[in-house]
């Protein structure tokens, strides 16, 4: 794998897209760098009375199209480079979906599984205390990400309200329903990908009964498995960070979800219902029609891409395929529905939540699903058309689609808005 930073590898996509458009070089220069990245050290009191500190970041990558938007992840391996890259992807994701947002992201370098609930709440509130001057309903809007959830967003929204002296529900999305969260948010990332696959199934020559392998079985992985299984597709392999299972006749998805809800790995179901042990690293090479990476970045790389047998890859994770692996898959004829389109259901329903918070009027779950499906199908169809018209991969087409919108907005602002004369 290349030794370039994660952001350097992500910027390869920008350069590829720019080669297909007549873009002012100033636009490309602006999009190569984050507008601002803030670093803080969060000091919290642990349950045993000691104090411990954790590194944290918040990046506002680009706000040309509106306030920056992006999740906050709690992960022991988080870095500033990762945060800026995720914010870059969010910039393009929001442009792909034509949302009035720019891209942002946040992280705390911590393993939340080692914290008590009280310690986790203190850490969540400390994050808002550190970054309250950066976020805001019209400036930067956080949401859940890896190892964060609606409960944590609720604590953060409450802390922000205490700091500013009034409730500001639109400042954070992915909140509990009781605090202004939107119906349909919990499965939005997976559901958006599901709608996309269903809409493009005929164009992609997909079978009516697909064999599906899911890498990563957190929120997105569980929901995509459930949605596809309910449509009659066979989930033949699943993995998480501790192992995997396979069953050619189809795994019992409910059994896998029950194991995760009980704090166990999917591997703990091996020996039950025909489930067989599968090393997590072997999942990408399982014989299947659809591979769904829904874990972390760079999980598919030049070392394992050649083993992929799937006809289609649906990227529910952010950046799961490296540029080197992408080129290998294209050469093999494997279609990839790219992350900035495929997993954009999450940020789209976050946008719906933000709109509902500002209006004080809330939609039914059917309305949320209908609006999400309409947008996923509209943008998916547009990107499919760009891919065919320009004879490029779906990923390059998605970046072309987004870059055109970003360039129009940047140029409309005028060069003096982002360069000092």
Bridge partners (DSSP) of residue 55 are 41
Q: What contacts 222, CB < 8 A, 6 or more positions away? A: 190, 253, 256, 257, 260
Apex 13 CA angle, 420 and 212, nearest 5: 145
Instruction: Determine contact, residues 236/286, Cβ cutoff 8 Å.
Output: yes
Q: What contacts 229, CB < 8 A, 6 or more positions away? A: 235, 250, 253
The answer to whether residue 105 is catalytic is yes
Catalytic, out of 30, 105, 260, 311: 105
Closest CA to 35 of 60, 9, 7: 60
Q: Count the neighbouring beta carbons within 10 Å of the beta carbon of residue 160.
A: 24
Could you give the CA distance from residue 223 to residue 253 in angstroms, rounded to a whole number?
10
Q: What contacts 112, CB < 8 A, 6 or more positions away? A: 74, 120, 123, 147, 148
Could you give the CA distance from residue 169 to residue 362 in angstroms, rounded to a whole number?
13
Place of tokens 């997993």: 343
320-340 core/surface letters (b: 16 or more CB in 10 A; e: else): bbbbbbbebbbeeebbbbbbb
Instruction: Determine contact, residues 72/106, Cβ cutoff 8 Å.
Output: yes
**Residue 380, both tokens:** 């998916």
Alpha helices, DSSP H, located in 169-218: 188-200
Instruction: Determine contact, residues 10/16, Cβ cutoff 8 Å.
Output: no
**Residue 77, both tokens:** 């391996």
Q: Which residue numbers are catalytic?
A: 105
């Amino acid at each position: 794998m290349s030794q370039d930073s994660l952001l350097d590898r992500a910027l390869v996509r920008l350069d590829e897209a720019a080669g297909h458009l007549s873009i002012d070089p100033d636009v490309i220069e602006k999009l190569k760098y984050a507008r601002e990245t803030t670093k803080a050290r969060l000091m919290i009191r642990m349950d045993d009375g000691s104090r411990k500190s954790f590194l944290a970041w918040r990046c506002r990558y680009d706000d040309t199209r509106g306030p920056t938007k992006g999740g906050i992840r709690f992960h022991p391996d988080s870095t500033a480079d990762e945060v800026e890259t995720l914010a870059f992807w969010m910039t393009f994701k929001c442009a792909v979906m034509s949302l009035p947002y720019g891209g942002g992201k946040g992280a705390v370098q911590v393993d939340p599984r080692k914290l008590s609930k009280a310690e986790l709440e203190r850490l969540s509130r400390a994050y808002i205390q550190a970054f309250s001057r950066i976020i805001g309903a019209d400036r930067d809007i956080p949401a859940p990400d890896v190892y964060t959830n609606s409960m944590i967003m609720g604590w953060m929204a409450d802390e922000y309200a205490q700091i500013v002296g009034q409730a500001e529900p639109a400042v954070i999305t992915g909140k509990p329903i009781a605090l202004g969260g939107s119906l349909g948010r919990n499965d939005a990332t997976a559901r958006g990908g599901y709608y996309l696959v269903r809409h493009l199934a005929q164009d992609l020559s997909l079978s009516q009964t697909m064999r599906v392998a899911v890498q990563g079985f957190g929120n997105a992985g569980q929901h995509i498995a459930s949605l596809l299984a309910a449509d009659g597709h066979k989930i033949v392999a699943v993995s998480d960070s501790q192992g995997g299972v396979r069953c050619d006749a189809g795994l019992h998805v409910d059994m896998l979800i029950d194991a995760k809800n009980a704090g166990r790995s999917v591997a703990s179901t091996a020996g039950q219902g025909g489930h067989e042990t599968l090393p997590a690293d072997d999942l990408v090479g399982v014989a299947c029609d659809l591979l769904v990476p829904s874990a972390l970045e760079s999980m598919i790389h030049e070392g394992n891409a050649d083993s992929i047998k799937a006809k289609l890859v649906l990227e529910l994770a952010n950046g799961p395929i490296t540029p080197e692996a992408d080129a290998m898959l294209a050469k093999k004829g494997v279609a990839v529905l790219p992350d900035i389109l495929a997993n954009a259901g999450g940020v789209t329903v976050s946008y719906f939540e933000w709109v509902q918070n500002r209006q004080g009027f809330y939609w039914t779950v059917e309305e949320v699903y209908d609006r999400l499906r309409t947008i996923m199908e509209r943008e998916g169809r547009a990107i499919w058309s760009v891919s065919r018209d320009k004879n490029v991969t779906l990923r390059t087409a998605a970046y072309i689609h987004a870059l055109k919108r970003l360039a129009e907005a940047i140029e409309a602002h005028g060069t003096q808005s982002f360069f000092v004369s």
